[in-house]
Amino acid sequence: MLKKIVKPLALAAALTASSLSMAADKVTFQLDWLPGGDKAPVYVGIKEGIFEKAGLDVSISSGRGSTDAVTKMATGQSDVGTADIGALLAARAQDDVPVSAVLAYFSQAPHAFFTVKGNGVETIKDVKGKKVATSPFTSSNLFLPLVLEENGLQEKDVTLLKTDPGALGPMLMTGNVPVIIAWTTNVPLFEKQAAEAGKELIVLPWSEAGLELYSSSLLAADKFLEERPDVAKRFVKAFAEAVAFTYANPDKAGEDIHSIVPEVDADTAAAQIKSIKGLVYNSATDADGYGALTKERMAMTWKWVAKANKLDADKADPETMVNRDFMPEK
C-alpha cells in the first residue's frame, strides 16, 4: 500500500515542478530600431537560455526610433527595452512620462559622420559647405547643431537632406552626397558597401568631437517596475549577462540573432558587434563598472540633451529619470 501511495505523490511532485518551470514570467521587450548586431543581447538572452534560466519568457516588439520605443513603454505596450536615453530625458522633462532608465548599454555616443576618401572630408570641420544626408528618425539630428558648434560651424554651413536610412549607404557610395550621418553601429555595413564600390570609408565619430554622454540604455515602464519588481530585477540581471556573452562571443551572438531573424546576416551582425565594443566597454565603464548610470555622467548627458532640445536644463533633474534599484550587483 505504501508503494502505491508514494508513486502518485512522486508523480504529483514531478508534475508540480514541471508546471512551475513552465510558468515563466512573460516580458515584452521593445526594440528602438530594426534587428542588428547592436540589438543582439536580447536575442542572445533568448537563444542561449539566459532568460529561461531566470524564469523569463521574453518576446520582442519592433520599433521605429527611440521616441516610438519610449511611447510604447509609457503606454503599456511593452515592459522594457533599449532606446537612446536622450529621448527619455527630453520626454520626461516636458511631460510626466512613466518610463525610467535602469541600466546603461552604450556609455559612449554612437553618432558619426561617414564619408569616403576623395571627398575632401577628413575632419568634422571639412563638412562645411557639403550636402549631408541623414535619416529623419535618428536622434543624431538633435545633436548635429551642437557638434557643428563645438567645431566652429553653424547649421547653415551644411545642406541637410533627410532620406530613408536604407538609402544612406548607397547615396554615399554612388556620390549623390559626400557625407552621411549614422551611428557607428553601421560601420561594417558601410565598409562592405564601400569595398564593393572600390572606395575607402572614413568615419568621424562625434564622441571624439566633445559629445560625451550616455546613449542607448535599458529603459523600463514604471508600471512594470512597480507592479513586478522581482521580474524586473531578474530581467535586468539577465540582460546584463546577455550583454557580457554577446561581446565575449560575437560570432556566436551573430549566429544567435540570425537563427531568430534569418534576414540578419550572421557574419555582418558579428562584425557589427566587434566594431561597437568600444561603445559598451570604455573609459566610463572602466571607472564606474558596466551598466552604471552615475550622477555625474547623467548630469553631463542631460546638459547635452537639454541644449539639443532647447530646454531649460535647470527646470528638470535627471536624477528623477533614473531608477537604480534594479541595477545588478557588480
What pLDDT score does 7 carry?
53
What pLDDT score does 203 carry?
97
Which SS3 state, helix, strand or coil, does residue 191 take?
Answer: helix
Measured torsion, CA atoms of residues 296, 298, 300, 303, in degrees rounded to the nearest 10: -140
Q: Indicate where the chain has its CATH 3.40.190.10 domain(s).
A: 25-108+213-326, 112-209
Residue numbers in the chain where pLDDT is lower than 50: 1-6, 13-21
Contact 106, 278 (CB under 8 A): no
CATH T-level fold of 25-108+213-326: D-Maltodextrin-Binding Protein; domain 2 (3.40.190)
What pLDDT score does 11 carry?
53
* CATH among 3.40.50.720, 2.60.40.1510, 3.30.70.580, 3.40.190.10 for 112-209: 3.40.190.10
Which SS3 state, helix, strand or coil, does residue 199 take?
Answer: coil
What pLDDT score does 138 carry?
84
Buried b (16+ CB within 10 A) or exposed e, 297-329: bbeebbebbbebbebebeebebeebbbeebbbe
What pLDDT score does 208 carry?
86
